[in-house]
Chain A
Amino acid sequence: MAARTFTINDQLISAREGETILQAAREHGIFIPTLCYLDGVSPVGACRLCLVEIEGSRVLRPACVTPVVEEMVVRTNTERLREYRRMIIELLFAERNHICAVCVANGHCELQDLAIAVGMDHVRFDYAFPRCDVDISHPLFGIDHNRCVLCTRCVRVCDEVEGVHTWDVAGRGADARVITDMRQPWGESRTCTSCGKCVLACPTGAIFRRGATVGEMERDRNKIAYIVAAREQRW
C-alpha cells in the first residue's frame, strides 16, 4: 500500500494510503479530541470535535472521516479550533441535564474529560433544562436521556458489531432521542439480545448497568475494538 507524506502542526507525517487524519495523528501521538468516534465501529463525523484546518480548504474537516492526501498541511490546535471545541462542549452541556455530581459516570465520563481538556470552567450558553425520560424497563440496563449526547455509538455498535440494530434515533433537533425498536420501552424490545455492547460504547452516563450509583459506572470501551479485531482474525 502506498505511503502518503504530509504535515500535522509542522510535523512531517508518513501514513498509509486510505488512512484518516485522525488515525495518522494518533499513530504519531498527536491528540485530537473526539466524542462520537469509537474504535471498532464506523466513523460518522457527527460531533465535530475532531475538526481540523487544512491549508487551501475553505471549510474545516472532521479528522475521523477525512483521508490523508499527499503533501496536505493540517493544523489541529489553532486558536479558532480551540474556541470551536469549547463551544461544542458547552452546547452539549447546555442541551441536556448533565449533573456530574449525581451521575453514574462521574469520574469515568468522556464528556467530563473533554470539558477539562478544552478548559471549560463554566457554560456561557443558557441551559435548556429539557424534560427527559429515564427508561429502566430492561432487567439489566437503563437509558437516561438526560445524559445522552446523541453520539450514536450505541446505534452503530448494535448494528455493526452485534448485528441487531435495536437502537436508532427518532425525532429531530432538540427532540431527537435514541430509541429501542419502534420507540418501545427497552425492556419490551424483541430484538435486543442483552449483549451489553451499547453499555460498553456509551461515552457518558446515558446507558448504564442497573444498580450502579454515583460514579460507579466504569466500562472498558476498548472491548469493542477487541471484539471486532478478534472476529476479523477468525473469519
Chain B
Amino acid sequence: MKKLRLATIWLGGCSGCHMSFLDLDEWLFELAQHIDLVYSPLADVKEYPERVDVALVEGAVANEDNLHLIRQVRERTRLLVAFGDCAVTGNVTALRNPLGAPEALLRTIYVERAEIAGCIPHAPGIVPRLLNNVYPVHKVVPVDVYLPGCPPPAPRIRALLEQIIAGGEIRLTGREMIKFG
C-alpha cells in the first residue's frame, strides 16, 4: 500500500501538541510503516512540499509567518487537521485578543516591564510581525478535521490517525475525542 505523506505544522502554540504526538511512543514505529513524514518541526525540511496527504496543524494563526505558511499548507494538502485547542479555538495564544492591538502589549512587555534597556524586537525577515488578532485556523483557511485538546492526549491522536489510515469517513465524538482543555 502507498504510504501517506504526513506533515506536522507548528504555528502559534507551545509545541505541547507535538510533545503529545511524541507520547505515542512505540506506536510511532507502527505509524512509520504507514506514513512518510515529509515536513515537520521534528524533521529538517525547509520548504513545505507539494501533494501532502495529511497535515496536523498545531497552534493558532498569530503572525505573518503563520499566515503565509497556513495558506501554503492548505494549497498543497488534501486533509488539513486543526490539531489541538490553539488551532481549533485560538486558546491561550488568543488570550491577547481582548487586550487590543499588539503594539501596546509589546511596549508593556518589552519596554515598560523590562529590567534592563528594553526595546521591542524588530528584525524584518527574521522576527515576523504579529497580526492584530490571533485566529483559529478555520477562520483563515478551510479545515477538514478538528481534534480538540490542550494538548490532545496521545490515545486521541492515535485514534484519529488510525481512522485516517483506514480511510473512510472520520468521526470524532464523546469525551475521549472532543473534550476541550
Residues on A facing B (Cβ under 8 Å): 93, 97, 99-103, 106-107, 112, 115-116, 119-123, 126-127, 129-132, 215
Contact = CB atoms under 8 A, between A and B. Distances in A.
Given A116-B175, A122-B136, A129 B181 contact: no
A26 B94 CA distance: 39
A93 B178 CA distance: 15
Contacts, number: 66
Given A121-B148, A129-B98, A130-B98, A102 B92 contact: yes
Nearest to B145: A121
A119 B92 contact: no
Contacts of B110: none
B54 interface: no
B150 interface: yes
Contacts of B154: none
A122 B92 contact: no
Contacts of A106: 181
A116 B174 contact: yes
A121 B146 contact: yes
Interface string B149-181: 010000000000000000000001111001111
Given A100-B85, A122-B88, A122-B138, A107 B178 contact: no
Interface residues of B, number: 29
B99 A122 contact: no
B108 interface: no
B85 A121 contact: no
A122 B94 contact: no
A123 B98 contact: no
Contacts of B73: none
Interface string B81-98: 010010011111011011
A132 B136 contact: no
Interface of B: 82, 85, 88-92, 94-95, 97-99, 133, 136, 138-139, 143, 146-148, 150, 172-175, 178-181
Given A99-B89, A115-B180, 5 more contacts: A99-B95, A100-B180, A116-B174, A119-B178, A129-B94
A126 B97 CA distance: 13
Contact of B180 (A112, A119, A129): A112
B179 A116 contact: yes
Contacts of B82: 122
Nearest to B143: A122
Nearest to A97: B98
Contacts of B178: 115-116, 119-121
9 contacts: A93-B89, A101-B85, A102-B92, A120-B178, A121-B147, A122-B82, A129-B98, A131-B99, A132-B98
Contact of B92 (A99, A112, A127): A99
Given A129-B97, A129-B98, A101 B139 contact: no
A132 B98 CA distance: 8
